[in-house]
Structure 1
Amino acid sequence: MPLLGLGVYAMEDGPETENAVLWALKAGYRHIDTATIYNNEGSVGNAIRKSGIPRDEIFVTTKLTEDDQGYESAIAACELSLRKMGLDYVDLYLIHAPHYGPELRSASWKAMETLVSQGKAKSIGVSNYSESHLKELLGSNPIIRPAVNQIEIHPWLTRTDRVAFMQTQNIVTVAYSPLAQAHKLNDPVLVKIATKYSKSPAQILIRWSLQKGYVVIPKSSKKERIEQNVDVFDFDLADGDMAALDGLNENYVTGTVT
């Protein structure tokens, strides 16, 4: 799983998504993160085909929407996503959120395991799961344990307890909204650190996630920002600067799922 990917949340189906994915792939990205609820899976698939890059070199994630939870509906939803994208499989399939109760969550996970056995998903995981939701899943003795939990995480929402638990269970942290949806790019601490390294505030935030050991999926539909966001492998943040960013935590959630 590539450590840095392009998220396509809230991008319009059609040229906006297609161009963003093509620009990202040209810039060296090999990880694209979409979801059923984003309504742009078809454009992701179109861009992958147009790129000319072999399918097995691109890591594709999509997600099961809450309304499709349940055994048969989850399998049908994944098959529909594959048809929309024109793909034989996804590299990672996630339960998008832990809504609608333990019975549906359990049935959905069994469906995810079936999808792996059928070769339609290479790996499976969850998104927006709390520690209690993870314990519920792990306590059910699943055939396949979740590979990842995709959660909102950035210096203003560090979620250290949840991340620590996930690390004990070998569950990878995938950080979405790593730029806090640009709400905090003018933070004085962040700006000072960005100036020190001659990098943009966004690049500093992405680097912070990488040095934490997270997979990070910044979203942008602008070519120059897509190219800038991947240019984060030529420097390291000093321990003191990492600590300063850690100190910004205020449990600031930008999304609707906590």
Structure 2
Amino acid sequence: MVETNGNQEQAAEQLPKEHAIIKLSRQSLVNHFVTRNMDVALAHMADDVEWLGPFACQTASSKKAMQDILRPEYGIRLALADERWRARKRAGTWIVSACYTLLVVSTDGERSIPFEQRATYVWAPTPDGPRIVHLHVSNTTDANTLLPSLDTGKNAIEFLYEHFDDQGSGTGKISFRDIGGDLHVLHPNELHAVESEGPRCVVKHAHGEFTVRAALADIEEELPARDFLRLHRSCLVHRGRIVSIEGYRAKLDDGSEYPIAERRYRSVKQALAAPRAQC
């Protein structure tokens, strides 16, 4: 036991000091987003690093799997701003926290969308020297109600470009007047489902719901066909919000469930299996 403790203390001495560990962490970040040098960005990752990326589908339990997920987006450079770093030592590990703004520039180069992002690096001593054994990156991208979920294997940066205009103040938005007279202006990606109740429809969206005097067919005509699926004659849902099909019910990412008509079941399954752009 004494020998084990001695080995642990010796291993912990491998770890750099605070300013050095922050410098190494920042080097990884800059080479990932700005320089786009994957070899340098991942140079200090442990082979069995646990990685949680900013999108729900970006998770890996090895350096190799992390490389495979990130590789598609490495042809696009981004920019960093307002970086804040902190490091704290806990026993034989360093925990480095970063908060920064990631700038995604539009393809025309005239506009940019800022995303505040956070990253937590856990450094530990290994036989090969100090290595990042855990990296958790998070931001509000997945929580942005204007964006559908990122599909597994899709280029995350191209996803942001694809939906760049969706986040604007007016582009593509639809107006609804509820039965109380209030005007609701929403982007289609904010909608979860629309259900008909006789001569009225209940519009369920990311922030709540309201009722309008309108036929479901009329509302359907106003919505982008590639993004909405008719589950049965009285229900329309955003396909990007569907997370699973269990039996003849569709479960959405907000936990709600909607029945699927038997005659529509096959077409719904086919639509979900097809790339969104082809729907």
TM-score past 0.5 threshold: no
TM range (shorter): under 0.3
State TM-score, norm by structure 2.
0.24
Structure (1/2) with the larger strand percentage: 2
State TM-score, norm by structure 1.
0.25
Structure number with greater Rg is 2
Q: Which has the higher contact order (CA 8 A, sep 6+)?
A: 1
